[in-house]
Structure 1
Amino acid sequence: MNEFGGAFPLKAKPLRSITESLITKYRSKSSAQDDDHEKDEPKNSPVDEEQGTLAFAVGLAKSALASVAGKFGFSSYSYEHFTKQEMIDNLLLQKKTAISYSKWMEVCNDLDELQDFNKWKQEAESNLYDFSIVKKNMMELRSARLDGDIRKLLYLIRTTWTRNIGNIGNVNLYRHSHTGTKKLIEEYLHECELALQEVTKENNNHGLDDRYILGMLVQTRKNIGRTALVLSGGGCYGLFHIGVLAALLEEDVLPRIISGSSAGAIVASILSVHNTDEIQELMETIVEQKFDIFEEQKNIQTFLICLSRFLKYGTWYDNKNLQDTMIDFLGDLTFREAYNRTGRILNITVSPASVHEHPRLLNYLTAPSVLIWSAVCASCSLPGVFPSSTIYEKNLKTGVTQEWHHASVKFVDGSVDNDLPITRLSEMFNVDHIIACQVNPHVVPFLKLSVTCVGGEIETEYSAKFKTKLGQIYGLWSAEVIHYLQMSAEVGIARNLCTKLVSVLSQKYSGDITILPDLHEVSQLNKLLANPTPEYLLQCTMKGARATWPKISIIKNHCGIEFALDGAIKLLRSR
């Protein structure tokens, strides 16, 4: 345990498993409801049903394998000879159905041992990174620390620490085992932690003032840069983001800078207006929350109302339900008030309805008095689904709600022009590292086939090369489509539509680390624009968490130095 919070990366205090608590509460509630209705058997949660289905499939495969072996005369020893494979199959099943990160990690460690992947981890040499420079820097840090040479330690910290030293940030280092990467990389990062512990010790007879050390660490942090979490749009698929946040929060690797577009703006804003304890409680009761964003299509009358609105105004829904839901969650907090309350930097992207305006990134610097709920509604105003929206602000003198000073501009869905505002975040907050969660149904299939989005799952060299070729083909195809759309806009053919389509196709939809749902999740189009049920909320949360767990070791290694520096700086400033 270090002096400024805990293990590397920094942990303020242990957090109970959100996903495990969520499943337990859901099962208890379902069981109580079944008892009230005097049912013989309790209702299973979606997770229980998933576990049962997978267990049945694995059992069926084992039976078939044993049957085939028996036909070829191997019945006397078939079971014994398949014991190891059965153990692997059983562990893989447990990995897919784990309900907490600790259990998932335990299973992954067992799999790495059973499948002999630990041997690859122990071997320092690899053409994926410069192991010699990593080892050299680690030994220099260790030597200076053991000698108590604080001046040299500070010199090494200031001059050698970067996020991607020796290419240790290469995501391909994380596709050769179920969890973790080369032991040399983990040892180097641990040595960095020990170096920070040494230079921040109180009453250390090194003759250096705390202010001098603080200045050195602040400059180092600027050099390393900052990490931002960026949540994409994607309709009700955006509930997947809840599980991502739960997983990051549990392991205390949730960046302070958070951006959201459309559905991502909903989840990002709810997170950013609550402190950690409140978020823990909110997420554990997430299935009880109401996300009634869309009008219910209960009968032919409501359908005809929506159809009439679409024919008259070009939108299927009005945004009253959306506004009411966001006000219930967010109240009348402004961007500045939310930042002062939680310290998190919330960013929401909005796209002007006009082609003559540029997309905007709203936060406590660019729109301090803007009401967050109105920014979220504007970011969710997908053309054809919701009408364009006006943004409101709180008058600083009177506290009265009024239209923002840009009221003449109407805003639509932030995903249209700037789903992941990477460039703007870099300019404003020195962000050079992006954790992206992408759930847009028109994007996920292509990213699943992208070699840039690997990491956290085992993948062969042939698979990586195949994805590279597919990526090149997609790049050529999209370039041609963009060219024709630009030509159409220039000659006046559906100029507004073509311009918006160019924005959609030419954006970057992935980050340095990209978290993606399964293709099956984004293929359920009937749930894209529908109010979620408690069961669907639970499924999305669990699947979001499970998609994030393989990325946790990558995030810790990419961001560990950054988060530890934040903790060390906070400690020195508190003295």
Structure 2
Amino acid sequence: MLQRNSDSRGYVYGTISTIWLLLVSLFEWLLSSLNALRHDNNGTVKRKRLAASDCTSWQDWKETALSLDKRTNNFRWRYYTASAEYDYKLIQRRLECLKRYRSEKNDRAIMCTLRSGFIRNLGNLGDPSLFTRTYYGTKILIEDYVHETCKCLHSVRMSKEIPRIEKLEFFFAAKLSIGRTCLFFNGGTAYGLYHFGIAKALWERGLLPRVIAGSASGALIAALLGVYTKEEYPRMFSEFSSNLWETCKYTVGFSLSKLLRYGNMLDISIILKTVRKCTGNMTFQEAYDRTGRVINIVITPFAFSGSPVVLNYLTAPDVLIWSAARTSNSWAPVFRSSKLITKQSDGSLKSCALEEFVGSRPERNAFFSSSAFARISEIFNVNHFVITQSRPSLFPFISDELHHHSYHVYWVKLLRVLSLSLAFRMRQLDLLGFVPSKLRRFVLKDAVLSPHIILTPNFSFSDIVHTFTEPSPDHINYWILVGERTAWQAITLLRVRCKIELAIEKAEDSLFAEGHSPDESICRNEESESVNIKAFSETTSEMN
């Protein structure tokens, strides 16, 4: 009886995902068709816009976007410094100071100036509205400021006059001040390959954050990224699709039950097998020690609507990563009764129930439930999230501010108002207790209090065809490419928001690499995580 109920819930989830995908694609197609009829005379622009969605590489996409901006004269906007959307006078003044100090080789003046400007959204330069006027790039002043700041950081790093210990203190304080970025892969059932495409595009452009989190199928991709070093990334990204195909080619074949259960012909368990093969029996602590990347696996208990559990090297150091990713997919009937597996001090493995991390008392009211985003923020000093969302059930509640929609801007505003109103009403119903716990994950999304950007794919009717298509190498590569295309439109924004942060981390790493003493390496780990461990200890004491 339990197995039958579990299977029925799987069918319901897959059916909901498939129906939502159909409806969203239909609505997008209708609006695009209406716009095409209204602008039939502008065939050149339309062809270029359609070509942009067919690009298969970053360079092709960039060239097409620049060509489209030139054709529509939007590129001129980038060279106009003045704008009400950001404090251009502040940015211009700081840029002139940094250039002057660097030309004078006055590194201490550079340090003093930089300290007061380690703010991710200084002068509102990271506002999404500054990145949708053109298909590629933003204000030249903003790009120059970020580039000059990175040059100044390198100048401080290479300075001969400033002692090494003083440099370390400067970059450590800078890292705390500007905060950290977390790449969060949120849900997606079998559309999880979309998350892999996002990660691949960011890695190729040098924008992959060190803090990575994932839930549901996104947890599988987060687990995969967290066990490889930066030297191993090129091979991993190039061989993933072939490794996945080697696993799933023996299970191909059309199955209506598989389609209804997972919303896609690609079984989620196939991705798990590939991830388990790659990660082995590596724990969260072992992965962090090996790569320096922080993996966060988010588990939402399926049996009740309590607070999500965040597993990482601080909260669950001895848990096997693949088992945490499997438990995060407990919505799937095949993983419903899965348990976490821990590695003991003697190397033996032991299973443990999720209740050891959750507790047995559910939190019904969403108002009092802590968010996974808040938990990650307080532990790892994260103040900026890049959220990749591929759950079709939530698309009506999400507005991607970076999409260059082909239909009229008033339609975009109307959709934005409707989506916000719908999300607000669903939240009200949940606060009153009218939303069944089994449906909360379908219609409610976690509140993100920190600055964030949500990346969602542009599903179309061609994606419906791929949904009903038997898995193949082309099928796998297609979904990865969907993720890459989504990331390309956000590259400029992420450079502005994250490039300085990544430059600080790179400079700090190079300074630590100069030390050859084992004791110094130990001091580095203790110093770098002292704030995080303190925050974690305080939180744990409050819970007790």
Partner of 1:76: none
Distance (whole Å) between structure 2 residues aligned to residue 526 and residue 118 of structure 1: 36
Partner of 1:258: 212
- Contact 2:254-2:470 at 8 Å conserved across structures: no
Partner of 2:532: none
For residues 394 and 118 of structure 1, do their structure 2 counterparts lie closer, same or farther at Cα, with a shift above 3 Å needed?
Answer: same
The amino acid across from 2:311 in the alignment is L
For residues 149 and 321 of structure 1, do their structure 2 counterparts lie closer, same or farther at Cα, with a shift above 3 Å needed?
Answer: closer
Q: Are 1:127 and 2:79 matched, yes or no?
A: no
Normalising by structure 1, report the TM-score: 0.72
- Contact 2:309-2:358 at 8 Å conserved across structures: no
Distance (whole Å) between structure 1 residues aligned to residue 80 and residue 268 of structure 2: 57
For residues 220 and 521 of structure 1, do their structure 2 counterparts lie closer, same or farther at Cα, with a shift above 3 Å needed?
Answer: farther
Q: What is the correspondence of 1:293-442 to structure 2 with a 5 Å cutoff?
A: 324-353=273-302, 355=304, 358-382=307-331, 384=333, 386-396=335-345, 398-404=346-352, 421-442=372-393
The amino acid across from 2:108 in the alignment is R
Partner of 1:161: 118
- Contact 1:420-1:508 at 8 Å conserved across structures: yes
- Contact 1:178-1:458 at 8 Å conserved across structures: no
Partner of 2:410: 462
Q: Are 1:280 and 2:227 matched, yes or no?
A: no
How much does 1:185 deviate?
A: 0.5
How much does 1:406 deviate?
A: 5.8
How much does 1:553 deviate?
A: 0.7
- Contact 1:348-1:376 at 8 Å conserved across structures: yes
Distance (whole Å) between structure 1 residues aligned to residue 412 and residue 231 of structure 2: 41
Q: What is the correspondence of 1:4-15 to structure 2 with a 5 Å cutoff?
A: none
Partner of 2:538: none
Q: What is the correspondence of 1:214-253 to structure 2 with a 5 Å cutoff?
A: 214-253=168-207
How much does 1:386 deviate?
A: 3.6
For residues 480 and 384 of structure 1, do their structure 2 counterparts lie closer, same or farther at Cα, with a shift above 3 Å needed?
Answer: farther
Partner of 2:491: 552
For residues 320 and 285 of structure 1, do their structure 2 counterparts lie closer, same or farther at Cα, with a shift above 3 Å needed?
Answer: closer
The match for 1:562 among 491, 495, 501 is: 501
2:384 aligned counterpart, secondary structure: strand
1:252 aligned counterpart, secondary structure: coil
For residues 548 and 506 of structure 1, do their structure 2 counterparts lie closer, same or farther at Cα, with a shift above 3 Å needed?
Answer: closer
For residues 468 and 259 of structure 1, do their structure 2 counterparts lie closer, same or farther at Cα, with a shift above 3 Å needed?
Answer: same
Partner of 2:396: 445
How much does 1:195 deviate?
A: 1.4
How much does 1:87 deviate?
A: 5.0
How much does 1:345 deviate?
A: 0.9
Distance (whole Å) between structure 1 residues aligned to residue 225 and residue 53 of structure 2: 27
Distance (whole Å) between structure 2 residues aligned to residue 164 and residue 225 of structure 1: 11
2:232 aligned counterpart, secondary structure: helix
Q: Are 1:541 and 2:475 matched, yes or no?
A: no
1:230 aligned counterpart, secondary structure: strand
Q: For this pair of structures, how many residues does the alignment match?
A: 465
For residues 184 and 324 of structure 1, do their structure 2 counterparts lie closer, same or farther at Cα, with a shift above 3 Å needed?
Answer: closer
- Contact 2:304-2:437 at 8 Å conserved across structures: no
Distance (whole Å) between structure 2 residues aligned to residue 109 and residue 190 of structure 1: 20
Segments of 5+ residues of structure 1 without an aligned counterpart are 1-57, 66-81, 308-317, 490-496
How much does 1:390 deviate?
A: 0.8
2:221 aligned counterpart, secondary structure: helix
Normalising by structure 2, report the TM-score: 0.76
Partner of 1:481: 429
The amino acid across from 2:373 in the alignment is I
Bigger CA drift: 399-408 or 229-238? 399-408
Q: Are 1:101 and 2:25 matched, yes or no?
A: no
For residues 167 and 464 of structure 1, do their structure 2 counterparts lie closer, same or farther at Cα, with a shift above 3 Å needed?
Answer: farther
Distance (whole Å) between structure 1 residues aligned to residue 222 and residue 135 of structure 2: 29
Q: Deviations over 1:306-336 (max 9, x none)?
A: 99xxxxxxxxxx9987765543232111111
The amino acid across from 1:210 in the alignment is R
Q: Deviations over 1:544-569 (max 9, x none)?
A: 11111010111011101101111122
Distance (whole Å) between structure 1 residues aligned to residue 49 and residue 305 of structure 2: 53
The amino acid across from 2:458 in the alignment is D
Q: Are 1:141 and 2:98 matched, yes or no?
A: yes
Q: Deviations over 1:392-431 (max 9, x none)?
A: 11112x10111248676799xxxx9999821111111000
1:455 aligned counterpart, secondary structure: coil
How much does 1:213 deviate?
A: 2.4
- Contact 1:319-1:386 at 8 Å conserved across structures: no
2:298 aligned counterpart, secondary structure: strand
For residues 228 and 363 of structure 1, do their structure 2 counterparts lie closer, same or farther at Cα, with a shift above 3 Å needed?
Answer: same
How much does 1:525 deviate?
A: 10
Distance (whole Å) between structure 1 residues aligned to residue 461 and residue 187 of structure 2: 14
- Contact 2:305-2:440 at 8 Å conserved across structures: no
Distance (whole Å) between structure 1 residues aligned to residue 155 and residue 354 of structure 2: 51
For residues 322 and 543 of structure 1, do their structure 2 counterparts lie closer, same or farther at Cα, with a shift above 3 Å needed?
Answer: closer
- Contact 1:323-1:374 at 8 Å conserved across structures: no
Q: Deviations over 1:432-488 (max 9, x none)?
A: 0101100011112331xx2xx31263687535533442244224422343244x1x5
Q: Pairwise CA RMSD of aligned residues? A: 3.9
For residues 356 and 554 of structure 1, do their structure 2 counterparts lie closer, same or farther at Cα, with a shift above 3 Å needed?
Answer: closer
Q: What is the correspondence of 1:73-222 to structure 2 with a 5 Å cutoff?
A: 87-203=44-160, 206=161, 208-222=162-176
Distance (whole Å) between structure 1 residues aligned to residue 327 and residue 379 of structure 2: 22
Segments of 5+ residues of structure 2 without an aligned counterpart are 1-32, 262-266, 515-544
Q: Deviations over 1:128-149 (max 9, x none)?
A: 1111111111112222222322
How much does 1:90 deviate?
A: 4.6
Distance (whole Å) between structure 2 residues aligned to residue 96 and residue 323 of structure 1: 30
Distance (whole Å) between structure 2 residues aligned to residue 199 and residue 501 of structure 1: 50
- Contact 1:390-1:407 at 8 Å conserved across structures: no
- Contact 2:146-2:500 at 8 Å conserved across structures: yes
Distance (whole Å) between structure 1 residues aligned to residue 67 and residue 411 of structure 2: 25
For residues 164 and 188 of structure 1, do their structure 2 counterparts lie closer, same or farther at Cα, with a shift above 3 Å needed?
Answer: same
For residues 506 and 325 of structure 1, do their structure 2 counterparts lie closer, same or farther at Cα, with a shift above 3 Å needed?
Answer: closer
For residues 110 and 324 of structure 1, do their structure 2 counterparts lie closer, same or farther at Cα, with a shift above 3 Å needed?
Answer: closer
- Contact 1:286-1:537 at 8 Å conserved across structures: no
Distance (whole Å) between structure 2 residues aligned to residue 188 and residue 290 of structure 1: 42
